[in-house]
A and B are shown apart, each in its own frame.
Chain A
């Protein structure tokens, strides 16, 4: 076998390939062809025309981007300083990491419950604000845009943090030491050494947290305003497919969702391709 150019080890890929085809490629292709067969007749592209003609559907793109881009940006930007300080070894690092990562295990529903308890109209946060006399009315922080944004930040942060921490750990610490002996203070070491080496990893992290946030669904219902300012694109797809049982339109919306994500990810990766992406170890 090996002489004929096929490594036997490659057979181990078979289950993986079958899995990918069955669970990913097939549904995508099926959905794609379904989206071109509109229920209510018309051309092949009728579903897509309908989506872009109807502001109630079309605006979901904008609504979702307005949530997903800030959430991904905040997650990436907040992770950088925290991960930067946690690179080295110190006592209690494991505990701190665990605390920061725990939200992964909470799931959206628990997070939503927590948010309602803390930030809701009768939650602690508002009680404190009113107690110290900062406001007379409770501040609305759930069942609107902010509730969903908080939820996306809480669930997305651990991913961003863990990824950035591992990218940072891959950068040889002697590079910053070298910069220090060359006269660079802390700020300039970060600016000229760490940040440029970290930037490609930041791009990837942004893409991943963006994709996670863009397909937001449960929290848009639970702590958002699903018929209003948090009517995200996945709600539109869900309603078309399961409430109106218009599978082709649902598929078309899912396809549009995928294209929007691809465009954003593509733009970020395009920017990334202009950066240095080689080794970040000591020997260059």
Chain B
């Protein structure tokens, strides 16, 4: 029904609950047809941001513009955005088919077309056989697909999805993830997708927005955010599970030399560090390999978990810091090993990074 917009601008949008700032000055421009993921841990303000966009929460400040026209003063029913709720919010007293057709009948669309479009939406989410059932008679995954069908049947100019996969088991989650991406591509719907799962965000989105305590930490493509996290917080979220305290001993342009865990490491200077400052060394478990070589650390193996092709190993550095490693080689608790990391995979951040500031 509604044609795609060229751009949706979110300008300094702010939301407070009492004196708690749930969302601070959100700035974002979403282009028509784009798939944006809002990523962050529980309580960082993702749902708040989505509810502000949908019009379910009044803003404490800022404005939202669609192609230059302010929409933040419109009630939700006049914004023409579809929403998939975190808890699905299916109407329990209506059949699946009526749930999906509800939005169509609110728009005054005639019975024949309503049925046709609802059938089509249910076919897209592969629920045609369950159209006559009630929500309570469906599994969690099926309910979730009804919620998606109900939101997309109107072909809204913006679809908001609030952790739609969080209640599903791992297999179904993967399947639905592909489904959502497929729907996005085939219908070309502009989507804002909220999740706390970095893998999901990386897999689905054209652009990621990483939030922390209501403050945007980084905006970028999945590749950018994954390979060049803006700060140590984003790095932690992007799988840099190892965060080792260190002291900078030498700086040579982008390369820093640090003393960490009684070893000397070279890494990438991410925060403009200078010699002598306290730092944190971030490494992904999968970037650490077992063996002698450059950029090595000595550690004692403590815990070994079997993960099929790989092992997840927790080792301890001489100074007592824990280090997580994923490796194909067979290790046993008590082994003393040498671990190496390529210098370009070692990110060195300042000890405490002020939130909100991007480096």
Determine which residue in A180, A183, A192, A279 has the highest number of CB atoms from chain B within 10 A of its CB, and name it.
Answer: A183
Within 8 Å CB of A197, what residues of B? 92-93
- Across the interface, do A196 and B103 meet the contact criterion of CB distance under 8 Å? no
- Across the interface, do A188 and B90 meet the contact criterion of CB distance under 8 Å? no
Q: State in angstroms the CA–CA spacing of A280 and B87 once bound together.
A: 13
Partner of A181, one of B83, B92, B140: B83
Q: State in angstroms the CA–CA spacing of A161 and B18 once bound together.
A: 30
Minimum CB–CB distance for A110 against chain B, Å: 41
Chain B proximity mask over A163-206: 1 for CB below 8 Å, otherwise 0: 00000000010110111111111001000110011000000000
- Across the interface, do A181 and B90 meet the contact criterion of CB distance under 8 Å? no
The yes or no answer to B237 lying at the interface (CB within 8 A) is no
The yes or no answer to A284 lying at the interface (CB within 8 A) is yes
Determine which residue in B76, B87, B93, B102 has the highest number of CB atoms from chain A within 10 A of its CB, and name it.
Answer: B93
Partner of A178, one of B79, B83, B136: B83
- Across the interface, do A283 and B91 meet the contact criterion of CB distance under 8 Å? no
Q: State in angstroms the CA–CA spacing of A279 and B135 once bound together.
A: 10
Known contacts: A178-B83, A180-B75, A181-B82. The answer to whether A278 contacts B91 by CB under 8 A is no
The yes or no answer to B207 lying at the interface (CB within 8 A) is no
The yes or no answer to B288 lying at the interface (CB within 8 A) is no
Q: Report the contact-size class of chain B (Cβ under 8 Å from the partner).
A: 20 to 34
Q: State in angstroms the CA–CA spacing of A274 and B146 once bound together.
A: 25
In the complex, what residue of chain B is closest to A281 when comparing beta carbons?
B92
- Across the interface, do A193 and B56 meet the contact criterion of CB distance under 8 Å? no
- Across the interface, do B102 and A278 meet the contact criterion of CB distance under 8 Å? no
Within 8 Å CB of B89, what residues of A? 172, 174-175, 177-178, 282
Within 8 Å CB of A62, what residues of B? none
Known contacts: A183-B107, A184-B106, A284-B134. The answer to whether A178 contacts B81 by CB under 8 A is no
- Across the interface, do B92 and A177 meet the contact criterion of CB distance under 8 Å? no
Known contacts: A177-B56, A196-B93. The answer to whether A283 contacts B76 by CB under 8 A is no
Minimum CB–CB distance for A276 against chain B, Å: 4
- Across the interface, do A179 and B87 meet the contact criterion of CB distance under 8 Å? no
Minimum CB–CB distance for B49 against chain A, Å: 15
Partner of A188, one of B54, B75, B106, B140: B106
Determine which residue in B85, B89, B134, B138 has the highest number of CB atoms from chain A within 10 A of its CB, and name it.
Answer: B89
Known contacts: A178-B91, A283-B87. The answer to whether A185 contacts B77 by CB under 8 A is yes
In the complex, what residue of chain B is closest to A181 when comparing beta carbons?
B83
Known contacts: A177-B85, A181-B76, A182-B154. The answer to whether A284 contacts B136 by CB under 8 A is yes
Minimum CB–CB distance for B71 against chain A, Å: 13
Within 8 Å CB of A179, what residues of B? 91, 102, 106
Chain B proximity mask over A147-159: 1 for CB below 8 Å, otherwise 0: 0000000000000
Q: State in angstroms the CA–CA spacing of A185 and B78 once bound together.
A: 9
Q: State in angstroms the CA–CA spacing of A174 and B76 once bound together.
A: 13
Minimum CB–CB distance for A177 against chain B, Å: 5
Known contacts: A196-B93, A284-B90. The answer to whether A182 contacts B150 by CB under 8 A is yes
The yes or no answer to B143 lying at the interface (CB within 8 A) is yes
Within 8 Å CB of B55, what residues of A? 180-181
- Across the interface, do A183 and B85 meet the contact criterion of CB distance under 8 Å? no
Minimum CB–CB distance for B329 against chain A, Å: 46
Minimum CB–CB distance for A30 against chain B, Å: 44
Determine which residue in B81, B92, B102 has the highest number of CB atoms from chain A within 10 A of its CB, and name it.
Answer: B92
Within 8 Å CB of A284, what residues of B? 88, 90-92, 134-136, 138, 143
Q: Which of A232-284 contact B (CB under 8 A)?
A: 276, 278-284
- Across the interface, do A181 and B106 meet the contact criterion of CB distance under 8 Å? no
Within 8 Å CB of A181, what residues of B? 54-56, 76-77, 79, 81-83, 151, 160
Within 8 Å CB of B103, what residues of A? 182-183
Known contacts: A177-B56, A197-B92. The answer to whether A278 contacts B85 by CB under 8 A is no
Partner of A192, one of B79, B80, B81, B102: B102
Known contacts: A183-B107, A192-B102. The answer to whether A282 contacts B76 by CB under 8 A is no
Q: State in angstroms the CA–CA spacing of A284 and B151 once bound together.
A: 17
Partner of B93, one of A178, A182, A188, A278: A278
Known contacts: A177-B76, A185-B77, A284-B92. The answer to whether A278 contacts B106 by CB under 8 A is no
Q: State in angstroms the CA–CA spacing of A192 and B105 once bound together.
A: 11
- Across the interface, do A183 and B106 meet the contact criterion of CB distance under 8 Å? yes
Within 8 Å CB of B85, what residues of A? 174, 177-178, 282
Q: Which of A66-92 contact B (CB under 8 A)?
A: none
In the complex, what residue of chain B is closest to A284 when comparing beta carbons?
B135
Within 8 Å CB of A185, what residues of B? 75, 77
Minimum CB–CB distance for A234 against chain B, Å: 39
Q: State in angstroms the CA–CA spacing of A183 and B87 once bound together.
A: 19
In the assembled complex, 12 residue pairs joining A and B whose CB atoms fall closer than 8 Å, in A order, are: A178-B150, A180-B76, A181-B55, A183-B77, A183-B154, A188-B106, A193-B91, A197-B92, A282-B85, A284-B88, A284-B90, A284-B91
* Chain B residues with a Cβ under 8 A of chain A: 54-56, 75-77, 79-83, 85, 87-93, 102-103, 106-107, 134-136, 138, 140, 143, 150-151, 154, 160
- Which 4 residue pairs are nearest across A and B when measured between Cβ atoms? A284-B135, A182-B103, A276-B93, A183-B106
14 more A-B residue pairs beyond the given contacts A175-B91, A181-B82, with a C-beta to C-beta distance below 8 A: A178-B83, A178-B150, A180-B77, A181-B76, A181-B81, A183-B106, A196-B93, A197-B93, A279-B92, A282-B88, A283-B87, A284-B91, A284-B135, A284-B138
